[in-house]
Amino acid sequence: MEIALAHPLQLALLGVGLVFFGNIALRNPRRAAQLVVFLLPTYLLRVRQGPLPTNVLELLILVFFVAVAVRIIFRKERLTSPPRAFWLPLTLLALGGTVSAVAAVVGSGYDPETTRTTLGALKGFLLEPVLFVLLLTSLPHSDRSSTSVIRAYVWSVTAVAGTALLGGLVTSHLSLVAEFLTYDGRLRGFYESPNQLAMYILPAAALLLAGGGSETARNAMRNGAKGPSFFARALLALMLLSALIWTQSAGAFLGLATALLLYAVSRKPYAGKQFSLYAIRYTLYALVMLGLLVPFIGAQFADTAWEEGWRSPGASRTMIWRAGVELLKTDGLLGIGPGMFQERYLALQEQFPPYLEWAVPHPHNLVLAVWLSTGVLGFVGFTWLIVGAFRRIQNPEISIQVKEIAISMALMAILTHGLVDTTFLKNDLGIVLLLFIATRY
Q: How confident is the model at residue 143 (pLDDT cuts 50, 70, 90)?
A: very low
The 10s digit of each residue's pLDDT in 363-379 is: 989 999 999 999 999 99
Query: Which residues are registered as beta bridge partners of 2?
Result: none
How many other CB atoms are there within 10 angstroms of residue 65's CB atom? 15
Q: Which residues pair with 54 in a beta bridge?
A: 47
Domain layout of the chain by residue ranges: 1-78, 82-144+270-441, 145-248
Residue 294 φ/ψ, nearest 5 degrees: -55, -50
Is the predicted pLDDT of residue 393 greater than 70, yes or no? no
Element at 435 (helix H, strand E): helix 427-438
Burial class (CB in 10 A: 0-12, 13-18, 19+), 425: buried
pTM given for the model: 0.88
pLDDT digits (tens, 9 = 90+) for 62-117: 999 999 999 988 887 888 888 888 999 999 999 999 999 999 999 999 999 999 99
DSSP-derived pairing of the beta strands 45-47 and 3-4: parallel
| 49 phi, psi to nearest 5 deg | -70, 140
Residues 6+ apart with CB under 8 A from 168: 177, 180, 181, 187, 189, 246
Is the Cβ–Cβ distance between 181 and 193 less than 8 Å?
no
Q: What is the pLDDT, as a whole number, of residue 266?
A: 65
Banded pLDDT at 340 (limits 50, 70, 90): very high
Single-letter residue type at 337: G
Give Cα separations from 348 to 117, 305, 323, 421 (angstroms).
Answer: 19, 17, 7, 20
Full DSSP string of 332-382 = TTT-S-TT-HHHHHHHTGGGSSPPS----SS-SSHHHHHHHHHHHHHHHHH
Q: Mean pLDDT, to the nearest integer, of 250-262? A: 85
